[in-house]
Amino acid sequence: MGAQAGFGQKKSKREPVEVAEPKPQDKSLDKLLSVRKQRLDRFERERKESRETWKRTRKSFHDAKQEWRDALQATKDYWAEARKDFLSMNTTSGQYQRAKAVYERMKVSSTDMRIKCLEVLERCRTARTNFFTARERVLTANRQQEKLTFMRDELRLLHQQSEM
Protein backbone atom coordinates (compact mmCIF):
# COMPACT_ATOMS: atom_id res chain seq x y z
CA MET A 1 0.00 0.00 0.00
CA GLY A 2 1.26 3.33 -0.94
CA ALA A 3 2.12 5.85 1.60
CA GLN A 4 -0.29 8.69 1.88
CA ALA A 5 0.40 12.06 3.22
CA GLY A 6 -0.28 12.23 6.86
CA PHE A 7 0.25 8.51 7.39
CA GLY A 8 3.93 8.09 7.86
CA GLN A 9 5.33 10.17 5.02
CA LYS A 10 6.11 13.79 5.42
CA LYS A 11 4.16 16.30 3.47
CA SER A 12 5.99 17.91 0.68
CA LYS A 13 7.32 21.30 1.59
CA ARG A 14 5.80 24.13 -0.28
CA GLU A 15 7.91 26.90 -1.55
CA PRO A 16 6.63 30.26 -0.34
CA VAL A 17 5.36 32.43 -3.11
CA GLU A 18 7.65 35.38 -3.58
CA VAL A 19 5.64 38.56 -3.57
CA ALA A 20 7.58 41.73 -3.80
CA GLU A 21 6.73 43.80 -0.79
CA PRO A 22 6.42 47.46 -1.49
CA LYS A 23 9.32 49.43 -0.17
CA PRO A 24 8.28 52.02 2.32
CA GLN A 25 8.61 55.48 0.90
CA ASP A 26 11.36 57.62 2.31
CA LYS A 27 9.68 60.44 4.21
CA SER A 28 12.88 62.29 5.10
CA LEU A 29 12.59 64.61 2.09
CA ASP A 30 9.01 65.45 3.05
CA LYS A 31 10.16 66.26 6.58
CA LEU A 32 12.96 68.40 5.21
CA LEU A 33 10.49 70.23 2.97
CA SER A 34 8.24 70.84 5.94
CA VAL A 35 11.09 72.29 7.98
CA ARG A 36 12.20 74.40 5.02
CA LYS A 37 8.63 75.66 4.55
CA GLN A 38 8.54 76.79 8.18
CA ARG A 39 11.87 78.55 7.67
CA LEU A 40 10.58 80.18 4.49
CA ASP A 41 7.49 81.41 6.35
CA ARG A 42 9.72 82.89 9.05
CA PHE A 43 11.94 84.56 6.43
CA GLU A 44 8.89 86.04 4.71
CA ARG A 45 7.59 87.35 8.03
CA GLU A 46 11.01 88.92 8.76
CA ARG A 47 11.09 90.44 5.28
CA LYS A 48 7.65 91.96 5.79
CA GLU A 49 8.64 93.36 9.18
CA SER A 50 11.88 94.80 7.82
CA ARG A 51 9.99 96.40 4.94
CA GLU A 52 7.56 98.03 7.35
CA THR A 53 10.49 99.25 9.46
CA TRP A 54 12.16 100.68 6.37
CA LYS A 55 8.94 102.46 5.36
CA ARG A 56 8.60 103.98 8.84
CA THR A 57 12.22 105.17 8.89
CA ARG A 58 11.84 106.67 5.40
CA LYS A 59 8.79 108.57 6.60
CA SER A 60 10.57 109.77 9.72
CA PHE A 61 13.55 110.82 7.57
CA HIS A 62 11.25 112.71 5.22
CA ASP A 63 9.60 114.46 8.18
CA ALA A 64 12.96 115.32 9.79
CA LYS A 65 14.30 116.62 6.47
CA GLN A 66 11.23 118.79 5.95
CA GLU A 67 11.47 120.10 9.51
CA TRP A 68 15.12 120.99 8.94
CA ARG A 69 14.35 122.71 5.63
CA ASP A 70 11.52 124.69 7.23
CA ALA A 71 13.78 125.76 10.10
CA LEU A 72 16.54 126.73 7.67
CA GLN A 73 14.11 128.79 5.59
CA ALA A 74 12.68 130.43 8.73
CA THR A 75 16.23 131.34 9.80
CA LYS A 76 17.02 132.87 6.40
CA ASP A 77 13.72 134.75 6.34
CA TYR A 78 14.24 136.08 9.88
CA TRP A 79 17.73 137.26 9.10
CA ALA A 80 16.69 138.88 5.82
CA GLU A 81 13.88 140.73 7.62
CA ALA A 82 16.21 141.85 10.44
CA ARG A 83 18.80 143.13 7.96
CA LYS A 84 16.14 144.88 5.90
CA ASP A 85 14.76 146.61 9.03
CA PHE A 86 18.24 147.67 10.11
CA LEU A 87 19.28 148.96 6.69
CA SER A 88 16.02 150.87 6.28
CA MET A 89 16.76 152.51 9.65
CA ASN A 90 13.65 151.03 11.32
CA THR A 91 15.61 149.42 14.20
CA THR A 92 18.36 150.54 16.50
CA SER A 93 21.75 148.89 16.66
CA GLY A 94 20.75 147.26 19.98
CA GLN A 95 17.68 145.71 18.41
CA TYR A 96 19.85 144.62 15.52
CA GLN A 97 22.31 142.96 17.93
CA ARG A 98 19.45 141.13 19.65
CA ALA A 99 18.13 140.00 16.27
CA LYS A 100 21.62 138.82 15.37
CA ALA A 101 21.80 136.77 18.61
CA VAL A 102 18.40 135.23 17.84
CA TYR A 103 19.63 134.48 14.32
CA GLU A 104 22.73 132.73 15.69
CA ARG A 105 20.56 130.60 18.00
CA MET A 106 18.31 129.75 15.05
CA LYS A 107 21.38 128.73 13.03
CA VAL A 108 22.53 126.43 15.85
CA SER A 109 19.03 124.97 16.10
CA SER A 110 18.99 124.38 12.32
CA THR A 111 22.37 122.69 12.54
CA ASP A 112 21.08 120.44 15.32
CA MET A 113 18.10 119.54 13.17
CA ARG A 114 20.46 118.73 10.30
CA ILE A 115 22.46 116.40 12.56
CA LYS A 116 19.25 114.73 13.71
CA CYS A 117 18.22 114.39 10.07
CA LEU A 118 21.53 112.68 9.24
CA GLU A 119 21.08 110.26 12.16
CA VAL A 120 17.60 109.36 10.92
CA LEU A 121 19.07 108.94 7.43
CA GLU A 122 21.63 106.47 8.79
CA ARG A 123 18.85 104.47 10.49
CA CYS A 124 16.92 104.53 7.22
CA ARG A 125 19.92 103.19 5.29
CA THR A 126 20.42 100.43 7.85
CA ALA A 127 16.73 99.49 7.61
CA ARG A 128 17.03 99.42 3.81
CA THR A 129 20.05 97.13 4.01
CA ASN A 130 18.18 94.84 6.43
CA PHE A 131 15.20 94.71 4.07
CA PHE A 132 17.26 93.74 1.04
CA THR A 133 19.16 91.14 3.07
CA ALA A 134 15.85 89.64 4.24
CA ARG A 135 14.53 89.78 0.68
CA GLU A 136 17.55 87.91 -0.63
CA ARG A 137 17.11 85.26 2.09
CA VAL A 138 13.50 84.75 1.00
CA LEU A 139 14.47 84.45 -2.67
CA THR A 140 17.22 81.96 -1.86
CA ALA A 141 14.91 79.91 0.36
CA ASN A 142 12.26 79.90 -2.39
CA ARG A 143 14.78 78.59 -4.91
CA GLN A 144 15.91 75.88 -2.49
CA GLN A 145 12.31 74.92 -1.78
CA GLU A 146 11.61 74.63 -5.49
CA LYS A 147 14.66 72.43 -6.05
CA LEU A 148 13.71 70.15 -3.18
CA THR A 149 10.14 69.90 -4.43
CA PHE A 150 11.33 68.94 -7.92
CA MET A 151 13.71 66.39 -6.42
CA ARG A 152 10.94 64.86 -4.29
CA ASP A 153 8.58 64.67 -7.26
CA GLU A 154 11.25 63.03 -9.42
CA LEU A 155 12.03 60.49 -6.69
CA ARG A 156 8.34 59.65 -6.32
CA LEU A 157 8.02 59.20 -10.06
CA LEU A 158 11.04 56.87 -10.12
CA HIS A 159 9.64 54.95 -7.14
CA GLN A 160 6.26 54.50 -8.91
CA GLN A 161 7.99 53.36 -12.11
CA SER A 162 10.09 50.81 -10.23
CA GLU A 163 6.95 49.30 -8.64
CA MET A 164 5.39 48.62 -12.03
Indicate the number of domains in the chain.
1
**CATH of residue 39:** 1.10.287
* Residue 114, pLDDT score: 96
Q: What value does the mean pLDDT take over residues 81-102?
A: 88
Rounded CA gap, 87 and 94, in Å?
13
Residue 57 maps to a domain: yes
Provide the domain limits for residue 105: 33-158
Residue 17 maps to a domain: no
Rounded CA gap, 59 and 124, in Å?
9
pLDDT digits (tens, 9 = 90+) for 130-158: 999 999 999 999 999 999 999 989 988 88
Residue 1 maps to a domain: no
Residue 9 maps to a domain: no
pLDDT digits (tens, 9 = 90+) for 21-44: 767 777 888 898 999 999 999 999
Residue 41 maps to a domain: yes
Residue 48 maps to a domain: yes
